[in-house]
């Protein structure tokens, strides 16, 4: 169901893959909808709650267009009382590396948390997947668990391959507990894990070597950091 083009829609009218991609994805809110669905199917109301400011008509329009374009489909997720959810088709799933790449790239531009900013735990967790240092993955099989506000995620490293997932780990080698804003700030390099711990926004439990391996996996400077001097005063 590709090349829909839904008559009347604005288009760049360029015979080019990028222009065609942007004819589908380039409008406001569209890629943020994709972001929400990268972690699994969601219902209309859930999307509305995690996209503050979108306006109900725009969300409905975008969902309809993306379904027509073959990027999303509607599914009946077991246990949601027969109400339909939206999920990515294989074509939509193929956007994962580009969306994650953009999420990682954009961390350079996140500033201080302002009063009007919203935060969600799973936004930070998306960036985690984009931060993997594929050349520095330890051969040890283990899991790291992250309690971010009221949501729980984990990284499972198995056979040299890390994977992110929702929910707790049965036997985590490390458990991190923090709030969503701190989680994003650490990913953006605006604060180091050590700085966040000293400030009381991050709690780390478990094997100290597992903590260090987790930091290395994510390319994070575990503790040292630009603030080394500031902290040494203690």
**List of residues contacting DNA (CB under 7 A):** 9-10, 27-29, 43-46, 53-58, 60-61, 63-64, 83-84
Using the minimum distance from each CB to a second copy, give the nearer residue, 11 or 177: 11
Largest CA distance in the chain: 66
19-23 contacts: CB < 8 A, separation 24 or more? none
Q: Which is nearer to DNA, 60 or 228 (CB)?
A: 60
By CB under 8 A, tell whether 42 contacts a second copy: no
Region of 113 (left: φ > 0; alpha: ψ -120 to 50; beta: rest) is beta
- The tokens describing 39, both together, are 């972690």
In the window 206-225, what residues touch a second copy (CB under 8 A)? none
Rounded to a whole number of angstroms, the minimum distance from the CB of residue 19 to DNA is: 12
DSSP labels, 206-218: E-HHHHHHHHHHT
Residues in a beta bridge with 76: 84
Query: Which residue bears the tokens 């027509």?
Result: 68
Q: Minimal distance in Å, beta carbon 142 to a second copy?
A: 26
Please state, as a whole number, how many other Cβ atoms lie within 10 Å of the Cβ of residue 27: 15
Helix (H) or strand (E) holding 174: strand 174-178
Binding mask 153-192 for a second copy (x = CB under 8 A): ---------------------------xx--x--xx----
204 binds a second copy (CB under 8 A): no
CB of 123 to DNA, least distance (A): 18
Tell which positions 113-132 bind a second copy, by CB under 8 A: 113-114, 116-120, 123-124, 126-127, 130
How open is the CA angle 65-85-96, to the nearest 5 degrees?
A: 65
Closer to a second copy by Cβ: residue 33 or 172: 33
Report what 104 binds from DNA, a second copy, none; CB cut-off 5-8 Å by kind: a second copy
């Amino acid at each position: 169901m590709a090349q829909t083009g839904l008559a009347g829609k604005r288009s760049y009218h360029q015979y080019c893959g990028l222009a065609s991609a942007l004819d589908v994805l380039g409008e406001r809110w569209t890629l943020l909808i994709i972001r929400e669905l990268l972690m699994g199917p969601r219902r209309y109301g859930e999307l509305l709650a995690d996209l503050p400011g979108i306006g109900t008509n725009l969300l409905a329009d975008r969902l309809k267009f993306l379904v027509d374009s073959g990027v999303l489909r509607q599914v009946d997720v077991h246990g949601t009382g027969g109400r339909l959810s939206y999920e990515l088709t294989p074509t939509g799933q193929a956007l994962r590396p580009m969306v994650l790449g953009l999420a990682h790239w954009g961390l350079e531009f996140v500033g201080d948390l302002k009063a009007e900013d919203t935060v969600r735990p799973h936004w930070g967790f998306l960036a985690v997947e984009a931060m993997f240092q594929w050349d520095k993955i330890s051969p040890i099989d283990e899991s790291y668990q992250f309690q971010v506000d009221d949501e729980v995620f984990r990284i499972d490293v198995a056979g040299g391959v890390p994977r992110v997932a929702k929910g707790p780990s049965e036997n985590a080698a490390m458990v991190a507990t923090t709030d969503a804003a701190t989680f994003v700030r650490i990913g953006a390099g605006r604060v180091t894990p050590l700085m966040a711990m000293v400030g009381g926004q991050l709690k780390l439990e478990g094997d100290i070597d597992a903590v260090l391996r987790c930091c290395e996996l994510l390319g994070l400077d575990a503790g040292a950091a630009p603030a080394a001097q500031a902290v040494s005063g203690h």
